[in-house]
Amino acid sequence: MSDYAVYGSNASAPFTLKVHRGDGMALLAMNWKAATPPDDFVGFGIEYREPNTQKFWPVKNRIAFPTPDGKVNPRRLSSLSSPIQMFRWVHFPMNADLPGDFTYRVTPLFMDQAGVLAQGERQEVEIALARQTYPDLNVAFTRGFVSSQAFVDRYEAHGPLESLVPPDTVDGLAFVPTHPDADAAYKWMGFEARAALFDVLDRAIADPSAQVRVIAYDFNLPELLERLVRLGPRLKIIVDDSKDHKKPGAEESEAAGRLAQSAGADHVKRQHMGKLQHNKLIAVRGDAFRAAVFGSTNFSWRGLYVQNNNALVVTTKAAVDLCFEAFEAYFAVKGSPIVGTFPASDLAGKWHDLEVAGVDAQVTFSPHGPDNARLGGIADDILSAKSSILYSLAFLYETGGPVTEAITTVTNDKTKFVYGISDRKVGGIDVQEPDGNLNPVYPAELSGKLPEPFKSEPAGATGYQTRMHHKFVVLDFDTADARVYLGSYNFSDPADTQNGENLVLVRDHRVTTSYMIEALGIFDHYLFRVRQKQAKSAKKPLTLKLPPHLSGEPPWWSRSYSEPIRIRDRLMFSK
């Protein structure tokens, strides 16, 4: 038994159950004990119970069995009547931050020739999902699913996406939401990352001794700017001034101007290093509180409320001191773009231990020089992976370079399991399946009428069509050498040798499991959009598959037992 995965113990159940602990989410993985399930097996019913309560809540399924006349059931039903026809499922409990154990109950369902469902012997497990990953290290994610049925169900009936976020990447600082459920929607959309970022700043404000250092790339979120203004001269900040950020009227310029008034002009610097000052970094050092925030989450409407992003909050003295040292080194840089190597060569030249108890976590800062560049070493590590590579990498197929080449190589290596998501240049997502197929999907394609029983989803204005913004790679999550690379670093040559960036390497099963589940959740979300697009093109509804009625007709689970890639998927997460 571990603190990041638990197993069902019912020997009488015909299947196994393994539940992996994520941050604000859980991965349930099932596998049939016999060689294959029986033909009348039609899927799994999933229920969960919150800590210190008695009631079980069913996970619901929007896809149902066809009605007797062959039509689509429009209602979202309990998975006990519309079972999950998958061998794994990522679940987001409504109140994942509750202390104590969540209980998951999974039941196999069978259907006879008359269409009557029967329940089999179930598995049940308990697992804590409280959102703090470790006392001194916390992984936090944004929701990133405004193009989803969940968003439509919760919020679109009371107002469109444009009533919650500005319709483009301009005028964000002046935007006032008109959606009646804005407060609840922002908590849902920003998920753990919003709560973690705001908590760090609120605690810094509350500690009068706290000094705060911030490096911002995209910066147009009033909620965050207002907190920084309240810090007064305790704040020093660097704001990127590359490309659109330096244009007349740019919101980064407006934000920097307001902070110059509250913190003092000598506490605010504009900079873009060799190409970009791409860090999204916060460091707080006070008598009552300290914290360092790394990751991919920009301080913007898009960063918190539209895109998939992550933030890593570390509260050790070593992490905070390293961030303060890096900030001062950046702040001291003369000119922009800089010429040559980042002057703080020791910060860029080494991996630095964040000194988290029981966790191997290290950080380095860009830009690196030719003698200490990191990109080639990461590519070599990807190539050395023994079992699996799961990634969520913005702009991967635009930038090229050693990591892009390494991922292409491992995708073609059938001894390794590869799932991946990459952002496309113009408002789309590349879904890299393990069979090598690269399937593009665009939110705009889903804004029209979807195949039944799905509702149309918001595509968003042009400036907000970038949905996936993560920069992480999980290697060998199921081995003793599990590790994850993450940060603001785009795994490109500019990120390595020109930009201001943070890059973190963590070797720890609980942390890598969290990122693995995040990768799977995003992958499944967008792969299903590929399936929706295919169904829409074929003008076919999406329904659950009935048991075979004719000899030779395959059951729904047949591909998971006949196709090598699907066999590995079924076994890898459930073993």
pLDDT of residue 426: 44
For 240-392, where are the alpha helices, taking DSSP H only?
251-263, 301-305, 317-331, 345-349, 375-384
Q: Which residues of 417-431 are buried (b: 16+ CB within 10 A; e: fewer)?
A: bbbbbbbbeebbbbb
Using CA atoms, how far apart are residues 238 and 271, in angstroms rounded to an integer?
7
SS3 262: helix
For 358-395, where are the alpha helices, taking DSSP H only?
375-384
**Nearest-CA neighbor of 352 among 315, 316, 312, 319?**
319
Q: What is the DSSP letter of 468?
A: B
pLDDT tens digits, one per residue of 105-126: 999 999 999 999 999 999 999 9
Tokens found for residue 223: 């909620």
Query: E strands within 9-161?
Result: 15-21, 26-32, 41-49, 57-58, 60-61, 77-78, 88-91, 101-111, 117-119, 123-128, 137-141
Distance of CA 394 to the CA centre of its chain: 11
pLDDT of residue 316: 98
pLDDT of residue 144: 84
Q: Which residues of 62-84 are buried (b: 16+ CB within 10 A; e: fewer)?
A: bbbbeeeeeebbeeebebbbbbb
pLDDT of residue 73: 78
Within a 13 Å sphere around the CA of 37, how many CA atoms are in the beta-carbon half?
32
One-letter amino acid for residue 2 of the chain: S
**Nearest-CA neighbor of 477 among 515, 446, 441?**
515
pLDDT of residue 461: 46
pLDDT of residue 159: 87
User: Residue 377 to residues 31, 251, 362: CA-CA distances in angstroms?
Assistant: 36, 37, 15
Within a 13 Å sphere around the CA of 431, how many CA atoms are in the beta-carbon half?
18
Q: Pairing state of beta strands 26-32 and 88-91?
A: antiparallel
Using CA atoms, how far apart are residues 262 and 420, in angstroms rounded to an integer?
43
Tokens found for residue 449: 């009428």
pLDDT of residue 463: 52
**pTM as predicted:** 0.93
Q: Which residues of the chain have pLDDT under 70?
A: 1-2, 147, 169-170, 336, 338-345, 397, 423-452, 454, 456-466
pLDDT of residue 160: 85
User: Residue 309 to residues 72, 312, 410, 499: CA-CA distances in angstroms?
Assistant: 35, 10, 25, 19
User: Residue 175 to residues 249, 250, 259, 487: CA-CA distances in angstroms?
Assistant: 15, 14, 19, 29
The widest CA-to-CA distance across the chain, in whole angstroms, is 79
- Could you give the angle at the alpha carbon of 443 between the alpha carbons of 25 and 94, nearest 5°? 20
CB proximity list for 292: less than 8 A, separation 6 or greater = 281, 282, 283, 284, 313, 314, 315, 316, 319, 320, 322, 323, 354
Tokens found for residue 222: 């009033």
